[in-house]
């Protein structure tokens, strides 16, 4: 690059600058950027030597461009300087105007100070002028002011005479006169008007008293009620016009409400005594509709339509009643009768056609907007109290019924019978009546209370059945001590009672409820019946045990005398079974037959007899056949519809004893197991011992067939029989070397 190019890119000094450096850091930064840009531009233009030939052309172009920029800069600076000069001239003119204004204000201030001093000298004159005006007004009003005391006394007389409209006109005249004197006197109140406020308050109280007795006045003196309401309305309208603020309309409405509450719901309320709540509610049932009818027919015509008298009456009576009920519930817990009466009255009577729901009251009563008389919490409280107290009462009545029944058991005479000859007691009817009546009566209240009482009744019935079962156990102990002269007859009577309860249990079933609700009670009744049946059979077993002590024996083989005694004793024991109603009597007879057969089998299994030969085995088999027929005849004669135990089992044992070929014992034992699946090896061994001719090999084969035989068929399933029959402990001599004890 030649010297001319270098000179071109050197920074140009402004005219008048004393040094080549910039005055500000920003200027230095700008110059550095400019140099960098110039170097970049020059390096791009003069990159090749042949481009230097155009150096003069570039220099001439840049010189022209620089002169153009300098000319523009001079023009901008000149314009700026001219604007600054104009602004300085305007500021000078403004300063001159401010100084002139300050001088004018100072002169005005001095003038005002002089006027203030002059005004103070005129103050006494102004006071004299005010006094003159007040005296002038008083001079003009003096005749009327002199009549104020007499007018106030006359107004009070009118108030005392309940001439409300005249009293109000007189009061307004006095208040108007007071207003006429107040403004001219500068707000000064004359002593003569000091009692006017008390007079207005006396009239307001009189209007309130009349409104509070609206029900009575509407019947006796409706004109007085109309006058009181009219005065309240006029005074309220005057208030609306922006005059003295006395809202007598609200006072009148409040007096109407308080008068109603005072008549029917005193404060504090006089609540009914325990047990007297029903009478109190009945009185309200008559009084409240009468009040509403009075309000609609007599009070409403005496009041403006916007008073909504019928609605006001309905809501006021409802609020007072609701408050009284809440206070009643916050006190001591109500008895069952009072709780029931309040629930029924509040939920069904109060809003019914006889009272607040009466359509004859018209839509203005608007009873749909009334809050419920009882809250859900109140209903829960009353239902819980009612159920708890009824439960105590029911438990006491059931216990009393049970005590009366138990007392009968110790009497010297047999149980009472009905016209059909069956044992009978009023206890089942009493129990069901107590429970059913309490369940049915609660259906008049609500589904929730009905359900609660129903559950409570079933719970108490279950407790009663448990107590009855415990009483039966005590009765059996008395029998063992010889303190129950008619033990079995009273057990049979108890069996009838439980059957009667079971058959009549449906009366406790709510309408539309599934019968499964009664399943726990039915199960408890079945348990009690089984216990009674077991106690009866235990008594039969005690009587039969001595008779079976000699069976089997040689005497048994030769004669039916032993079984005759058993049949006679059984027949005598069961002679009262016919006093038990069907189907329970069939259950008792079937269980009695089963008890006799079990005693018979126990005797056979004791090993007291071993047949000596084929003749005795034939005699034993024949005796079993005869005994089966005799027992079957016995129970059929007693009324058993079908013999279920005696003939099949005894005849099956007969076949086992009557078998002549011992090698076939296995088949016979397998057949016995098919018929009676609960027969065990011990039972078979005892029967084989009774035969007296079974070798060890035949015994082993017979016992093996008991295990190896086909399983019993499902149709042959029977109640446990052999499993309830004990067998004697086998001796060592009866044990096979390679098998279990027989």
User: Is residue 730 over pLDDT 70?
Assistant: no
Residue 23 counted as domain residue: no
- Using N-to-C axis directions, what is the helix angle for 646-658 and 681-691, rounded to 10°? 60
Longest dimension (CA), the chain: 171
**pLDDT for residue 237 is more than 80:** no
User: Which runs of consecutive H residues, i.e. helices, occur in 148-276?
Assistant: 148-160, 164-182, 196-212, 214-220, 222-240, 248-264
In 3D, which of 735, 712, 721, 650 has the Cα closest to residue 687? Answer: 650
Q: Is the pLDDT of residue 11 over 60?
A: no
Question: Which is higher by pLDDT, 599 or 711?
Answer: 599
Mean pLDDT of 74-99: 88
Whether residue 156 sits in one domain with residue 132: no
Q: For 171-188, what is the mean pLDDT?
A: 77
In a domain, 360, yes or no: no
* Cα torsion angle, 126, 127, 133, 139, sign: negative
Count the domains in the chain: 4
Mean pLDDT for the chain overall: 81
Quick check: 734 pLDDT over 70? no
Residue 327: strand, helix, or coil? helix
What token pair was written down for 332? 């001591």
Confidence class for position 60, pLDDT limits 50, 70, 90: confident
For the stretch 530-562, pLDDT in tens is 898 999 999 999 989 998 888 888 888 888 888
Same domain, 467 and 615: no
398's CB contacts (< 8 A; 6+ apart) are 431, 434, 460, 461, 463, 464, 467
Predicted local distance difference test score (pLDDT) of residue 365: 64
Verify that 136 and 194 share a domain, yes or no. no
pLDDT for res 270: 57
Judge whether residue 149 has pLDDT over 50: yes
- Does residue 187 share a domain with residue 90? no
The answer on pLDDT for 568 being more than 90 is yes
Same domain membership, residue 134 and residue 73: yes
pLDDT digits over 528-538, tens only?
888 989 999 99
Same structural domain for residues 161 and 305?
A: yes
pLDDT of residue 609: 85
Per the model's pLDDT, the better-predicted residue between 153 and 123 turns out to be 153
SS3 417: strand
The answer to whether position 561 is within a domain reads yes
**Statement: residue 364 has pLDDT above 90:** no
CA distance 372 to 380: 14
**Domain presence at residue 194:** yes
Mean pLDDT confidence for 668-694? 86
Report the alpha-carbon distance of residue 483 to residue 406 in Å, rounded.
13
Are residue 489 and residue 416 in the same domain, yes or no? yes
> Is the preceding omega at residue 391 within 30 degrees of 0, hence cis?
no
For residues 631 and 596, the answer to whether their CB atoms sit within 8 Å is yes
Residue 460, CA atoms < 13 Å, CB-side half-sphere:
29
Residues 78 and 53 grouped into a single domain: yes
Q: Measured on CA atoms in the order 459, 465, 470, 471, is the torsion positive or negative? A: positive
- pLDDT at 361 (0 to 100): 62
Q: pLDDT value at position 24?
A: 62
Return the pLDDT at 18.
Answer: 42
Tens-place pLDDT, residues 310-363: 888 888 888 888 888 888 888 888 888 888 888 888 888 888 777 777 656 666
Confidence of residue 388 (pLDDT cuts 50, 70, 90): very high
733: confidence class by pLDDT, cuts 50, 70, 90 = very low
User: Where among 463, 497, 532 does a domain terminate?
Assistant: 532
Is residue 345 in a domain? no
* Residue 257 domain flag: yes
- Rounded Cα distance between 195 and 197, Å, is 6
Q: Where are the beta strands (DSSP E) in 256-413?
A: none
Is residue 572 domain-resident?
Answer: yes
Is the pLDDT confidence value at 170 over 50?
yes
Using 50, 70 and 90 to split pLDDT, how confident is the model at 160?
very high
**In this predicted structure, what is the pLDDT of residue 583?**
81
Ramachandran bin of 3, using left for φ above 0, alpha for ψ from -120 to 50, beta for the remaining angles: alpha
The single residue listed with the structure tokens 């970049």 is 40
Quick one: pLDDT at residue 8? Answer: 42
Among the three residues 82, 114, 141, which one is the final residue of a domain in this structure?
Answer: 141
pLDDT at 169: 92
Last residue of a domain, one of 271, 301, 323: 323
Is residue 467 domain-shared with residue 576, that is, in the same domain? no
Report the C-alpha gap between 740 and 742 in whole angstroms: 6
Q: Which tens digits make up the pLDDT trace of 31-40?
A: 888 888 888 8
Task: Select the more confidently predicted residue: 49 or 584.
Answer: 584
The domain that contains 603 carries what CATH number? Answer: 1.10.357.70
Decide if pLDDT at 695 tops 70. yes
- What does the buried/exposed string (b/e) look like for 212-251 if buried means 16 or more CB atoms within 10 Å of the residue's CB? bbbbebbeeeeebbbbbbbbbbbbbebeeeeeeebebbeb
How many angstroms separate the CA atoms of 656 and 692, rounded?
12
Q: What is the band of 128 on the pLDDT scale with cuts at 50, 70, 90?
A: confident
Note whether 398 and 481 are same-domain residues. Answer: yes
* Percent of the chain predicted with pLDDT > 70: 85
Residue 500 is predicted with a pLDDT of 82
> Residue 30 falls within a domain, yes or no?
no
Specify the 3-state DSSP secondary structure of 581.
Answer: coil
Q: In terms of domains, do 95 and 45 share one?
A: yes
Q: What is the pLDDT of residue 671?
A: 85
Contacts of 158 (CB under 8 A, 6+ apart): 164, 166, 167, 170
DSSP 428-461: HHHHHHHHHHHHHHHTTT-HHHHHHHHHHHHHHH
Do 79 and 214 sit in the same domain of this protein? no
Residues 42 and 317: their CA atoms lie apart, in Å, by: 109
> How many angstroms from the chain centroid is the CA of residue 426?
39
Full residue range of the structural domain in which residue 204 is found: 150-323
pLDDT of residue 731: 41
The CATH number that applies at residue 490 is: 1.10.357.50
H, E, C per residue of 38-99: HHHHHHHHCCCHHHHHHHHHHHHHHHHHHHHHHHHHHHHHHHHHHHHHHHHHHHHHHHHHHH
CA distance 171 to 166: 9
Q: Residue 166 pLDDT > 90, yes or no?
A: yes
């Amino acid at each position: 690059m030649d010297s001319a190019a270098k000179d071109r890119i050197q920074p140009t000094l402004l005219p008048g600058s004393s040094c080549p450096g910039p005055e500000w850091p920003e200027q230095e930064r700008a110059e550095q950027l400019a140099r960098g840009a110039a170097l970049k531009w020059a390096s791009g233009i003069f990159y090749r030597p042949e481009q230097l030939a155009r150096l003069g052309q570039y220099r001439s172009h840049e010189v022209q461009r620089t002169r153009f920029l300098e000319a523009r800069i001079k023009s901008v600076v000149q314009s700026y300087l001219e604007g600054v000069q104009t602004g300085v001239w305007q500021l000078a003119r403004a300063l001159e105007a401010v100084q002139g204004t300050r001088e004018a204000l100072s002169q005005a201030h001095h003038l005002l100070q002089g006027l203030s001093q002059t005004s103070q000298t005129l103050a006494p004159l102004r006071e004299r002028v005010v006094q003159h005006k007040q005296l002038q007004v008083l001079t003009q009003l003096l005749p009327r002011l002199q009549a104020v005391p007499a007018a106030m006394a006359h107004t009070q007389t009118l108030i005392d005479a309940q001439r409300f409209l005249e009293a109000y006109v007189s009061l307004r005249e006095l208040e108007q006169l007071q207003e006429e004197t107040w403004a001219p006197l500068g707000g000064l109140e004359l002593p003569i008007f000091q009692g006017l406020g008390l007079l207005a308050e006396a009239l307001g109280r009189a209007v309130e008293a009349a409104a509070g007795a609206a029900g009575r006045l509407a019947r006796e003196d409706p004109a007085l009620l109309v006058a009181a309401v009219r005065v309240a309305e006029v005074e309220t309208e005057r208030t609306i016009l922006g005059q003295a603020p006395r809202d007598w309309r609200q006072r009148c409405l409040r007096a109407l409400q308080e008068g109603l509450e005072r008549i029917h719901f005193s404060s504090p309320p006089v609540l009914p005594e325990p047990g007297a709540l029903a009478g109190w509610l009945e009185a309200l049932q008559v009084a409240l509709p009468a009040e509403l009818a009075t309000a609609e027919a007599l009070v409403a015509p005496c009041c403006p339509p916007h008073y909504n008298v019928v609605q006001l009456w309905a809501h006021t009576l409802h609020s007072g009643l609701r408050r009284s009920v809440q206070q009643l519930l916050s006190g001591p817990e109500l008895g069952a009768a009072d709780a029931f009466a309040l629930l029924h009255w509040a939920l069904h009577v109060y809003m019914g056609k006889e009272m607040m729901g009466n359509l004859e009251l018209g839509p203005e009563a608007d009873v749909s907007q009334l809050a419920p008389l009882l809250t859900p919490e109140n209903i829960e409280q009353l239902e819980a109290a009612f159920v708890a107290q009824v439960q105590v009462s029911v438990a006491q009545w059931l216990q009393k019924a049970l005590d009366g029944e138990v007392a009968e058991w110790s009497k010297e005479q047999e149980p009472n019978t009905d016209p059909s000859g069956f044992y009978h007691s009023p206890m089942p009817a009493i129990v069901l009546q107590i429970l059913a009546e309490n369940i049915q009566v609660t259906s008049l209240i609500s589904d929730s209370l009905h359900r609660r009482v129903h559950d409570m009744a079933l719970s108490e019935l279950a407790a009663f059945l448990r107590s009855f079962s415990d009483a039966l156990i005590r009765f059996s102990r008395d029998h063992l001590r010889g303190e129950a002269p008619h033990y079995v007859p009273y057990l049979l009577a108890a069996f009838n009672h439980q059957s009667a309860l079971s058959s009549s249990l449906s009366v406790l079933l709510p309408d539309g409820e599934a019968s499964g609700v009664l399943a726990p009670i039915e199960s408890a009744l079945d348990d009690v019946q089984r216990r009674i049946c077991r106690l009866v059979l235990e008594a039969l077993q005690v009587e039969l045990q001595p008779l079976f002590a000699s069976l089997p024996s040689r005497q048994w083989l030769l004669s039916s005398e032993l079984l005759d005694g058993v049949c006679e004793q059984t027949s005598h024991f069961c002679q009262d079974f016919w006093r038990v109603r069907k189907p329970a009597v069939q259950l008792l007879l079937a269980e009695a037959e089963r008890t006799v057969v079990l005693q018979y089998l126990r005797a056979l299994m004791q090993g007291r007899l071993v047949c000596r030969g084929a003749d005795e085995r034939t005699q034993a088999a024949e005796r079993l056949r005869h005994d089966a027929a005799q027992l079957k005849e016995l129970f059929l004669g007693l009324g058993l519809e079908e013999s279920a135990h005696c003939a099949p089992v005894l005849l099956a044992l007969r076949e086992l004893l009557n078998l002549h070929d011992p090698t076939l014992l296995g088949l016979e034992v397998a057949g016995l197991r098919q018929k009676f699946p609960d027969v065990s090896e011990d039972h078979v061994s005892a029967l084989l011992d009774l035969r007296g001719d079974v070798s060890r090999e035949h015994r082993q084969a017979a016992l093996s067939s008991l295990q190896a035989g086909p399983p019993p068929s499902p149709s042959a399933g029977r109640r446990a029989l052999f499993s309830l029959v004990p067998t004697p402990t086998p001796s060592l001599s009866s044990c096979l070397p390679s098998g279990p004890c027989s």
